[in-house]
Copies of this chain bind each other. A is one copy, B any other.
Amino acid sequence: MLAAVASPWGAIAAGLLALLGAAYLFSFVRRQDPGEEGMVAIAAAIREGAVAFLRQEYRTLAVFVAAVAILLLVVSRWSPALPPATTVAFLAGAVASTLAGYLGMQAATTANVRTTQAARRGMAAALQVAFSGGAIMGLCVVGLGTLGLGLMVALFGRTADPASLQVINGFGLGASSIALFARVGGGIFTKAADVGADLVGKVEARIPEDDPRNPAVIADNVGDNVGDVAGMGADLFESYASSIIATMAIGANLVAQGAPAAMVWFPLGVAAVGVVASLLAVAFVRRGGEQPQRALRYGTFGAGLLTLAGTYGLAVTLLPEDGIGLRLFVAVTAGLVAGIVVGLLTEYYTSADYSPVRHIAEASVTGTATNIMTGLAVGMLSTAWPVILLGAAIWLAYAAAGIFGVAIAAVGMLATTGMTVAVDAYGPVADNAGGIAEMAHLGPDVRRVTDTLDAVGNTTAAVAKGFAIGSAALTALALFSAYATAARIERIDLLEPRVIVGALIGGMLPFLFSAMAMQAVGRAASQMIQEVRRQFREIPGLREGQAKPDYAAAVRISTAAALREMVSPGLLAVGAPLAVGVGLGKAALGGLLAGATVTGVLVAIMMANAGGAWDNAKKHIEAGHHGGKGTDAHAAAVVGDTVGDPFKDTAGPALNILIKLMGIVALVAAPLLGTGVL
């Protein structure tokens, strides 16, 4: 029976189970009371904005996906090294990722107003609705991931022939392409709206946050969903799929050299176990009652422990020979524990309960410059422990089970993705719920509940960011190893200057990519600022609340800017590895991937933690410390928060995509390099 779990069929079954769970939660959420007419209208505006963004994004995406599909078909006509079915897998990966994002957004924008209404009944009811809304995204990610991968393997893979598994690389490429658009585009959308809403609304027009008179307020709320729900979901969907694909690729090669065949299926088994564990954890948290923070934390730990228990049983039953199973269990544990601890470290560096954020708040008293410097220093300092921890996990996993161990550690870290995404996507639902309460002028009791949920959501979002970076790092390394196997390179020797040159260029790409993302936010935000100013100027009675702003216009501007600004970073991510691979050779491309992974992880951690710390330093001051709102210290902290926003929500997360996408492009292109086709 356990052998069936670790098979394409086990993965398909787990995937269907997760999707059933998601369907159940969706029907539960829809049955909830959406509240009065005014609330429903606001929620409808947010949902319409989100759907409008997605539709527009999908239109752009369709062109991109079609172009890549045709390219893959043409190349597979030319070269036997690229199986034609890769195109099918590519389309499947793209569709699965798109579907997960679409369903997750629908769920989140259905749950937000119902959470507001439930908040009238108290914390427990509100948590149940909000978390159910987030969990739908989590279950869709892992459900569509395991179902899709299982189907691809069942259709195209044959254990006896490692090359046949190559087809599923296309699934990863599809997932990565969507992730690029969802993460980078979503990040630009959300920050353009946020900065535009804050700068003109709060600073110039002097109206409170989430005030319905602000033309960008709906775009801002849409942005929360677009960025933290669809963007984070696509990011982790990519990590999830790619880590399994890379591990299977390495496993297939080992099997061809005589290792037990079950090694190829083991990653699917770990994923299936993780799906079941996540489902149980989700059920537990929904009944979390009055203490959302504790419920979320226990749920996360519980999902991890259940996964470890299941993996242990699976490993020792499936691979008893020479203690292989036990050694793989050690590797999975290393990855899973590292993922959770990296997440907790993120909390340490970004929560106002600990000294880093308090230092930033203190530094705000002496001015903006000291706030910025302290925040940057905290971000840079915060790279040390996560990197040492990742290094230790890699080391342990390798000592236990070689390169396959490193790859399976990534799968282990991501096994509980269902729960992680649920916890993360719950945040914007709670945030939206608070926004709707504000816009619909509900009482302070409701705000108190939604504020508590929102505060918990901010912490969990920070933890999820740390987790996303850690898993992206391990996934990128797994892809790197899989690339080397596929390209048949024996070594990537740093003593060869071409590898050093590759590493230097690769190391530079995250800097260039971040700079492009930050400049894109700047341009998009300035368009948004002009639009909001224009509406305040041209719509009579808007400031006095006697006329309605044109919310849709603001959404359109964010959408158009996001889609336009995605193009150059996207071309960079796809073009750079191909250019280096063709121009300087396979080993140099290996150097590029390693260099990009090292600096990508570091810059991503720095940006995510600096951004989170600045955000909470501001909130700490707003809570009344160092003089509270209206002081110079608060003004300084607001500047830090504004600088940190594109750090943590646009540039930083986009780096996760960059390093994985370059890895998967290299993996797909590997068999073609040096064959004359590339």
Interface string of A638-672 (1 = CB under 8 A from B): 01001100100000000000000000000000000
A497 to B380, CA, bound (A): 24
Contacts of A477 in B (CB 8 A): 500
A499 to B602, CA, bound (A): 17
Q: A481-B495, A515-B377 are in contact. Are A391 and B598 (CB under 8 A)?
A: no
* A388 at the binding interface (Cβ < 8 Å): yes
Which residue of B has the minimal Cβ distance to A195? B369
Contacts of A59 in B (CB 8 A): none
Contacts of A370 in B (CB 8 A): 522
Contacts of A505 in B (CB 8 A): 387-388, 391
A529 to B370, CA, bound (A): 13
Interface string of A485-504 (1 = CB under 8 A from B): 00000011111011111011
**Contact residues on A (Cβ < 8 Å of other chain), bracket:** 35 or more
Interface string of A377-404 (1 = CB under 8 A from B): 1111101100110110011011000010
Contacts of A394 in B (CB 8 A): 497, 500-501, 504
B508 touches A602 (CB 8 A): yes
B497 touches A403 (CB 8 A): yes
Contacts of A497 in B (CB 8 A): 394-395, 397-398, 403, 406
B500 touches A377 (CB 8 A): no
A522 touches B377 (CB 8 A): yes
Q: A398-B497, A494-B590, A518-B373 are in contact. Are A367 and B598 (CB under 8 A)?
A: no
Contacts of A398 in B (CB 8 A): 497-498
Which residue of B has the minimal Cβ distance to A397? B497
A635 to B591, CA, bound (A): 44
A612 to B600, CA, bound (A): 25
Contacts of A498 in B (CB 8 A): 395, 398
* A276 at the binding interface (Cβ < 8 Å): no
Contacts of A504 in B (CB 8 A): 387, 390-391, 394, 598, 601
A602 touches B639 (CB 8 A): no
* A599 at the binding interface (Cβ < 8 Å): yes
A348 to B494, CA, bound (A): 32
Interface string of A600-643 (1 = CB under 8 A from B): 01100010000000000000000000000000000000010011
A512 touches B384 (CB 8 A): yes
* A368 at the binding interface (Cβ < 8 Å): yes
Which residue of B has the minimal Cβ distance to A481? B495
Closest chain B CB from A342 CB (angstroms)? 13
Interface string of A358-373 (1 = CB under 8 A from B): 0000010011111011
A594 to B595, CA, bound (A): 9
Contacts of A493 in B (CB 8 A): 491-494
Interface string of A192-203 (1 = CB under 8 A from B): 000000010000
* A376 at the binding interface (Cβ < 8 Å): yes
Q: A494-B494, A599-B599 are in contact. Are A363 and B522 (CB under 8 A)?
A: yes
* A511 at the binding interface (Cβ < 8 Å): yes
A642 to B591, CA, bound (A): 37
Q: Among B366, B388, B518, point to the contact of A376 (Cβ < 8 A).
A: B518
Contacts of A584 in B (CB 8 A): 395
A372 touches B639 (CB 8 A): yes
B494 touches A495 (CB 8 A): no
Contacts of A199 in B (CB 8 A): 366-367
Contacts of A514 in B (CB 8 A): 377, 380
A397 to B500, CA, bound (A): 13
A511 to B511, CA, bound (A): 14
A145 to B355, CA, bound (A): 46
A643 touches B494 (CB 8 A): no
* A217 at the binding interface (Cβ < 8 Å): no
Other CB < 8 Å A-B pairs besides A369-B643, A394-B504, A598-B599, 14 of them? A366-B529, A367-B639, A369-B639, A372-B372, A373-B643, A377-B515, A380-B512, A381-B516, A383-B512, A388-B505, A394-B497, A481-B495, A503-B594, A504-B598
Top 4 A-B pairs, shortest CB-CB distance:
A380-B515, A369-B642, A398-B497, A507-B598
